[in-house]
Structure 1
Amino acid sequence: MTDEPAPQSSPAPHRFERGTDGPKVIVVGVDGSDSSLRAAAYAAGLARRQRALLAVVYVQPVLAAGAALGAPVADTTEAIAESLIAEIRDAAERVKDIFDVRWEFHTFRGDPYNGLVAAADELTADAVVVGASEQAGHRIVGSVAVRLVKAGRWPVTVVP
């Protein structure tokens, strides 16, 4: 017998794997509603505790009917996005001495569900946080939150 160590195989190339060391990227959907802003605050706390990147996502709706009628849809949604960025920056500035959160703001176009799915895929999200729908009709048809949960691709937290 020899005292030589057994040859070791080279380590496997690093692959993305969900759920191994806690979330590294948390996606939160915001649209300016009270529930989405509560979801952003909740997600910021998660990101701080996990030292994760908080990806704040606004999905700009594509309103083909409004655009066909000459409504300035793009300008309106851009203004909403700019307002959300300003509000998030102000909130981050107010709490920077208490805790610091790494965050990015992203906009995607489309319907809210498909926009959040695209964002979570593109940003390699480990978790998705959304606010509960404030529309009564979503109890029948299904909200974005319910659709994200049913997709089963990420842990989804729904904030009331």
Structure 2
Amino acid sequence: MGEPYPAEEYQPRAAILAGRPAAIVVGVDGSDASLRAAAYAVGLARRQQAPLVLVYVRSQPSGLLSAVDGGGAGIVAVIDVEDRIEAELLDAFRQALDGIDAQLIIRSGQPSAVLSEVAHEVQAGAVIVGRSESLAHRLTGSVPRRLVRCGRWPVTVVP
């Protein structure tokens, strides 16, 4: 066996071109697992002196919810919960990320697609997400699984 490759060859292309560590993207949704993932990403960004991009993806109410919910109370409740989570994330973002090059991106859509888009835009070196806590994701596929299958970035799933 030959000599191992130098560590420089394992750095993401964006980091080599810019002469700095590549961005770390973390998905947050207010769940315990996503908050643990965010804490892990903050520590990693501090240690590597890398930019941190937190991504909150607001869901789009499905057509089925609209059909079942004639008065729209269910959709209003979903939007209210998302507004509350967004406000909590903004407060936590302002307090906890002192001294880190960080930004919070809020978008609507399908979580794995939005995380992939953002990771591509910022030329991420890693994507960090919390483990899915939903039983339904075992049947339909979880966000971490979809990101791993995408295979563009190293994906860390925090339990």
TM-score normalized with structure 2 length:
0.76
- Which has the larger helix fraction? 2
Matched, 1:80 2:85: yes
Shift in Å at residue 47 of structure 1? Answer: 0.7
Which has the larger Rg? 1
Instruction: Report matched runs for 1:1-160 at 5 Å.
Output: 17-18=13-14, 20=16, 23-65=21-63, 66=65, 69=69, 70=72, 71-72=75-76, 73-92=78-97, 96=98, 100-160=99-159
Structure 1 residues 53-108: Cα deviation after superposition (integer angstroms, max 9, x where no partner)? 1100000101133467433254542332122111232333xxx4xxx322110011
Distance 2:66 2:89 in 1: 22
1-structure distance, mates of 2:28, 2:13: 26
SS in 1 for 2:44: helix
Task: Report the secondary structure of 1:27's partner residue.
Answer: strand
Contact persistence 2:58–2:109 (CA under 8 A) = yes
Distance 1:24 1:37, change over 3 A: same
What is the CA–CA distance in structure 2 between the aligned matches of 1:122 and 1:45, rounded to whole Å?
A: 22
User: CA–CA distance in 1 between the matches of 2:126 and 2:152?
Assistant: 9
Deviation at 1:135, TM superposition (A): 1.2
Identity of aligned residues (%): 47
Task: Give the gaps of 5 or more residues in structure 2.
Answer: 1-11
Aligned CA RMSD, in angstroms, stands at: 2.2
Equivalent residues, number: 139
Cα distance in 1 between the residues matched to 2:142 and 2:21: 24
Partner Cα separation in structure 1 for residue 154 and residue 143 of structure 2: 14
Question: Which segment drifts farther, 32-41 or 118-127?
Answer: 118-127
Q: Which moved more, 1:22-31 or 1:106-115?
A: 22-31
**8 Å contact from structure 1 (residues 24, 51) kept in 2:** no
